[in-house]
A and B are shown apart, each in its own frame.
Chain A
Amino acid sequence: MERNLTLIALFAALIAALGLIPQLTLAFGVPITAQSLGVMLCGTVLGAKRGALAVLLFVLLVAIGLPLLAGGRGGLGVFVSPTAGFLIGFPFAAFITGLIVENWRNGPLALVAGAASVVGGILVLYAFGISGLAWALQKPLAEAALLVTAFIPGDLIKAVLAGVITAALARARPDSVLSRA
């Protein structure tokens, strides 16, 4: 119980820290941060349920007014802004990512975790994010989707990294990779 709680809390803090350290910002031409990589890692390392709880805890702390989102954003305002869909989609993205890693057991972990991150961290997350954009800006879904296509290459790279990092963590701390425990 205590171990689950501290791992959940520490991974929530990890998502926040990945947004706080400017040196860790991954630059691929489009301004992106390592924060959504943190969401993918929550799913691939902690598994569906605990990963989603870690991300939910992070989202809750943003809601109660801590400036944990990249660029020091936070508070209730971000939940009604056009990008709110991404924030609300974060826990679902981690859940689906974790679910795939937990159930797809035959295959190298790097590949499985990478593919799971593409499905959870990109497909699921963008479904929420694009719906939020379409709703806030009152545009059709296809046009809202067009606005975020520039971010997809960066997120694909992050999914590959999530796979590589998860496999490295499974070698370094096999007992703590709960998605495969």
Chain B
Amino acid sequence: MISLTSPVKTRAHRWPAGVKLGLLCAATVILFMQQNIAFQVAAFAGTAAIYCLPGTAFARAGARAVWRLWPFVVLVAVWHLIVGAGEQGAIIVLRMLTAVALANLVTMTTSLSQMIAAVMWLAAPLAKIGLNTRALALGIALVVRFTPALADKGTALTQAWAARSPRRASWRIIVPFAVLAIDDAEYVAEALRARGGTNP
């Protein structure tokens, strides 16, 4: 499965994931503490400038993710113009866009394997209170592997339905779909047990 990491290699791709996540947390907290319009404008412009540094392809991919927020931007803008609190509305909109763009920046510059390593590092202290980190790592791998496999099965079921009926495949597909998922889970559990299981 393809993660949302940008194929455009930037300098930030080489930074440790933990540092980027820490910086993101700090930046987001500061962003939400500031009620100053000048600060929010500067933060938004600064974030946009960072997106432009690696080139237009990177900036366009980033803009696409932020573009999804347009219904909320319109909503807040219309609302605040009606009640006559334009500055407050601008602060809310800018902060929302900057926060999403910054978080997305970390996703775009961190590979899936680096992210999983960061998750395992964060989960390590939880191992002391009984979290099976090996099971967690295995669970992540299983979902990554099985999502496309299940999607294929769903497509096959939909096509089989279309071959038999003039009507659209509906929710009725979900029962055989879930049965397939359950059967897969049972087979894989057996295979895992045969190979030593989660506690070797």
Using CB atoms and an 8 Å cutoff, list the residues of chain A in contact with chain B.
Answer: 1-3, 5-14, 16-18, 20-21, 23-24, 26, 34, 37, 41, 45, 57-58, 60-61, 64-68, 71, 73-82, 136-139, 147, 161, 165, 168-169, 172-173, 176
Contact = CB atoms under 8 A, between A and B. Distances in A.
A13 B147 contact: yes
Most central of A2, A81, A165 by chain B CB within 10 Å: A2
A131 to B, nearest CB: 15
Given A67-B3, A79-B103, A82-B72, A172 B175 contact: yes
Given A165-B174, A168-B175, A82 B96 contact: yes
B146 interface: yes
Contacts of A16: 143, 147, 150-151
Interface of B: 1-5, 24, 28, 65-66, 68-69, 72, 75-76, 79, 88, 92, 96, 99-101, 103-104, 106-108, 110, 112, 115-116, 118-119, 135, 138-140, 142-144, 146-147, 149-151, 153-155, 158, 168-171, 173-175, 177-179, 181-186, 188-190, 192-193, 197-199
B116 A66 contact: no
A2 B192 contact: yes
A176 to B, nearest CB: 4
A75 B106 CA distance: 9
Contact of B198 (A2, A18, A24): A2
Contacts of A58: 143
Contacts of A26: 170-171
Given A82-B72, A169-B179, A176-B182, A23 B169 contact: yes
A161 B177 CA distance: 14
Contact of B158 (A21, A41, A78, A176): A21
A144 to B, nearest CB: 11
